[in-house]
Amino acid sequence: MLREERRAAEEAITLIRPATGRLVDPDIRDEFGLETMDMNMGPQHPAMHGLLRLILELDGETIVRCDPVMGYLHRCQEKIAENRTYPAVIPLTDRLDYFANMHNEHGYCLAVEDLLGVEIPPRAEYIRVLMCELMRIASHLPSIGFLLLELGAFTPILYAFRERERIQNFFEAVTGARMMFHYIRIGGVKADLPPDIPEKIWEYVDGLEKRLEPDFIELIEGNEIFVERTRGISRLTQEEAIELGLTGPPLRCTGVDFDVRRDYPYSVYPELDFDVVTDTAGDVEASYRVRIKECYESIKIIRQCLEKMPEGEVMADVGRRVRPPEGEGFGRVEGPRGEFAVHIVSDGSDTPYRVHYRDASFVNMQLLQEKVPGHYLPDIMPIMGLVDPVSGGWDK
């Protein structure tokens, strides 16, 4: 078939998106003599990140259309939150993006504190930042591991989970739980750090900084298969990234240096010294480099937190019954996947009138719809590694 005809057909197909039933209008198929194949990927696909179904339309091995179908893990968190008291929502936020629990709690608590107008004790702020940065490492390393796992390399995921396990041990010692912490509370944090933990964290990040080079950079970066499979895949321009509303590593790998921690400062980040990591390539390989460099920045922040952490209280006097005045509260944090924002509308009672979460996984996933067409079928998994969505995040 002539190339022009083919392009016209592809354009016609992308325009037609019926709500149900057949994906492509049979008339159009016949008119252009196209033979494309519909294929479902997920929700129970072994390589898929959580419960995501992709409806793919294939022309040979080239993807013509990609349509993510969400909702397999939807719990309507926003509705449940409307029927619970303010402090009782915190454990639910843990279940949003379950690789960034601390960031979710932090964002929600910032929004409630914005409503209440309470001052947080400085020690609590440092503990929050310390925990969030540990969480960021515990999220970035497995996401690199998953990317490599899907490309067929089994070793990095083991190294990544070894690190994550050790960080989870710290979380267990501090919060009492390994994943669902309920640690950051409205007005501070649940409890002070155990006395021996700062020293152990210091020792651990020293070791981690030495291990990142051999375990995650030398092993991966020059590997020919890795480079073949990721370089130039889903190459984003800055404009595309901005138009799609991307944040976090997918945005920074195109060279737009936006980081909520620096540009919309919260907590004690203005007092800390760190760089915003960017790359210029905008492809999957660049997102890997951004993630690994951000781990070094997190280590820098962790060290500063441990050095600067003052003594004192870890909880402001908020009271048992949290009853914010009528109004609106906003919280915005930089999660491992990008901007996590919470918008709370209060009607003056002890339950929120409306809670809205803006999760980076959900917004960044629009990239699949726009950038996957034109790639080969096996390129989906590296692109998923670029976005690195988490099921609990996009499904709320």
Partner 1 sequence: MAVTLPEGSLEERLERYLEGFRSRHGLEEARVEGNTVVLAVDPGGVPAVLATARQSLGILHLSFITVVDRQGSFELTYELLDLRGARVRVKTVLEGEEPVIDTVTGIYPTANWHEREAYDMFGVAFRGHPDLRRVYMWQDHFDHHPLLKSFEISTKRTFEGLR
Q: Which of 258, 269, 274, 288 binds partner 1 (CB under 8 A)?
A: 258
> Is residue 256 close enough to count as binding partner 1 by CB under 8 A?
yes
Q: Which of 223, 343, 375, 377 binds partner 1 (CB under 8 A)?
A: 343
- Total residues binding partner 1 (CB under 8 A): 43
> Is residue 326 close enough to count as binding partner 1 by CB under 8 A?
no
> Is residue 95 close enough to count as binding partner 1 by CB under 8 A?
no
Pick the closer one to partner 1 by CB: 69 or 225. Answer: 69
Binding part of the chain for partner 1, among 168-176, 213-221, 270-278, 357-365 by CB under 8 A, reads: 357-365
Pick the closer one to partner 1 by CB: 60 or 325. Answer: 325
Q: Which of 165, 199, 227, 353 binds partner 1 (CB under 8 A)?
A: 353
> Is residue 44 close enough to count as binding partner 1 by CB under 8 A?
no
> Is residue 339 close enough to count as binding partner 1 by CB under 8 A?
yes
Query: Is there a contact between 330 and 111 (Cβ–Cβ < 8 Å)?
Result: yes
Query: Is there a contact between 309 and 126 (Cβ–Cβ < 8 Å)?
Result: yes
> Is residue 345 close enough to count as binding partner 1 by CB under 8 A?
yes
Taking residues 224 to 243 in sequence order and writing x for each that binds partner 1 by CB under 8 A, - otherwise, the string is: -------------xxx--xx
Binding part of the chain for partner 1, among 72-80, 140-148, 173-181, 212-220 by CB under 8 A, reads: 72-80
First to last CA, the chain: 45
CA–CA gap between residue 82 and residue 11 (Å, rounded): 43
Pick the closer one to partner 1 by CB: 56 or 363. Answer: 363
The least CB distance from residue 116 to partner 1, in Å, is 16
Q: Which of 33, 60, 71, 325 binds partner 1 (CB under 8 A)?
A: 71
Taking residues 358 to 387 in sequence order and writing x for each that binds partner 1 by CB under 8 A, - otherwise, the string is: x---xx-xx---------------------
Binding part of the chain for partner 1, among 81-89, 201-209, 223-231, 308-316 by CB under 8 A, reads: 81-89
Q: Which of 50, 91, 198, 245 binds partner 1 (CB under 8 A)?
A: 245
Q: Which of 275, 228, 269 is nearest to 125 (CA)?
A: 269
Binding part of the chain for partner 1, among 152-160, 174-182, 204-212, 337-345 by CB under 8 A, reads: 337-345
> Is residue 23 close enough to count as binding partner 1 by CB under 8 A?
no
Binding part of the chain for partner 1, among 118-126, 203-211, 346-354, 382-390 by CB under 8 A, reads: 346-354
The least CB distance from residue 1 to partner 1, in Å, is 27
Query: Is there a contact between 278 and 302 (Cβ–Cβ < 8 Å)?
Result: no
Residue 61 main-chain phi, psi, to 5 deg: -110, 5
Binding part of the chain for partner 1, among 16-24, 164-172, 202-210, 214-222 by CB under 8 A, reads: 16-24
3-state secondary structure the chain: CCHHHHHHHHHHHHHCCCCCCCCCCHHHHHHHCCCCEEEEECCCCCCCCCCCEEEEEEECCEEEEEEEECCCCCCCHHHHHHCCCHHHHHHHHCCCCCCCHHHHHHHHHHHHHHHHCCCCCHHHHHHHHHHHHHHHHHHHHHHHHHHHHHCCCCHHHHHHHHHHHHHHHHHHHHHCCCCCCCCEECCEECCCCCCCHHHHHHHHHHHHHHHHHHHHHHCCCCCHHHHHHHCCCCCCCHHHHHHCCCCCHHHHCCCCCCCHHHHCCCCCHHHCCCCCCCCCCCCHHHHHHHHHHHHHHHHHHHHHHHHHCCCCCCECCCCCCCCCCCEEEEEEEEECCEEEEEEEEECCCCCCCEEEEECHHHHHCHHHHHHCCCCEHHHHHHHHHHHCCCHHHHHC
Q: Which residues bind partner 1 (CB under 8 A)?
A: 17, 19-20, 70-71, 74, 76, 78-80, 83-85, 237-239, 242-245, 247, 255-256, 258, 263-264, 330, 332, 339, 341, 343, 345, 350, 353-354, 356, 358, 362-363, 365-366, 395-396
